[in-house]
């Protein structure tokens, strides 16, 4: 699950990520270099994340979470939030303000399940790296046409239709028509 976490205005979620990564790293007694080695992320990127100076990919957050022994949702939720499953944080923004991924909440699965509400403006794309084995995505299109491009082909999903697929492969979400496409995304880990 990967794309750049960015926007014109700095999203609050990046401040949450900075604080949560730093606190979890320190609680585990890791240096920034140690976290870099465990996660496979450069020390420079770890420092930039902890100082809220990095636009970070969702796949990078997944790797940090695995190295810190937590979930992506634990890194993006407000540090002072009660330990509940409702998150409701924008974790991805496209170039157009209509394009965004909102992590609504999580529920337990083998490890965790994530519930997202996504929208992509006309012409917008969300490319993702392959997730780990056994990850799956369940998509339900609410409005518009969503195109999913993956190793097994190109899938067009219209409003009211859905797609379930293994995300252990690179894939792309794209707006397949005019106007904004809106869809619900469940990531099952």
Share of the chain above pLDDT 90, in %: 54
Give the pTM: 0.67
Say which range, 18-27, 117-126, 130-139, has the weakest mean pLDDT: 130-139
pLDDT in tens, 12-67: 788 889 999 999 999 999 999 999 999 999 999 999 999 988 888 888 898 999 99
Report the alpha-carbon distance of residue 87 to residue 8 in Å, rounded: 22
Q: For the domain bounded by 94-188, which CATH number is listed?
A: 2.60.120.10
Q: Which residues of 127-141 are buried (b: 16+ CB within 10 A; e: fewer)?
A: ebbbbeeebbbebbb
Residue 161 or 131, more confident: 161
Mean pLDDT of 157-182: 94
Assess whether the region 12-76 and the region 94-188 belong to the same CATH fold: no
What is the tens place of the pLDDT at every residue in 80-89?
876 666 777 7
In the prediction, which pLDDT does 83 show? 61
Percent of residues in the chain assigned helix, strand, coil, to nearest 5: 25, 35, 40
- For the chain, what are the domain ranges? 12-76, 94-188
**Which letter, b or e, does each residue of 102-126 get, where b requires 16 or more Cβ atoms within 10 Å of its Cβ?**
bbbbbeeeeebbbbbbbbbbeebeb
The CATH number assigned to the domain with range 12-76 reads 1.10.260.40
């Amino acid at each position: 699950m990967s794309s750049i976490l960015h926007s014109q205005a700095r999203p609050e979620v990046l401040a949450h990520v900075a604080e949560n990564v730093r606190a979890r790293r320190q609680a585990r007694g890791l240096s920034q270099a140690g976290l870099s080695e465990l996660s496979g992320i450069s020390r420079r990127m770890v420092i930039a994340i902890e100082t809220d100076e990095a636009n970070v990919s969702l796949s990078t957050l997944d790797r940090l979470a695995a190295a810190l022994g937590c979930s992506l949702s634990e890194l993006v939720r407000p540090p002072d939030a009660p330990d509940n499953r409702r998150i409701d944080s924008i974790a991805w923004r496209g170039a157009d303000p209509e394009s965004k991924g909102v992590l609504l909440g999580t529920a337990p699965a083998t490890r965790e399940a994530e519930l997202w509400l996504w929208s992509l403006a006309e012409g917008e794309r969300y490319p993702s790296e392959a997730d780990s084995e056994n990850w799956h995505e369940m998509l339900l299109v609410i409005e518009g046409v969503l195109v999913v491009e993956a190793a097994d082909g190109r899938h067009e999903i219209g409003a009211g239709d859905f797609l379930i697929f293994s995300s252990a492969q690179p894939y792309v979400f794209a707006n397949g028509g005019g106007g904004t496409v809106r869809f619900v995304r469940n990531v099952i880990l």
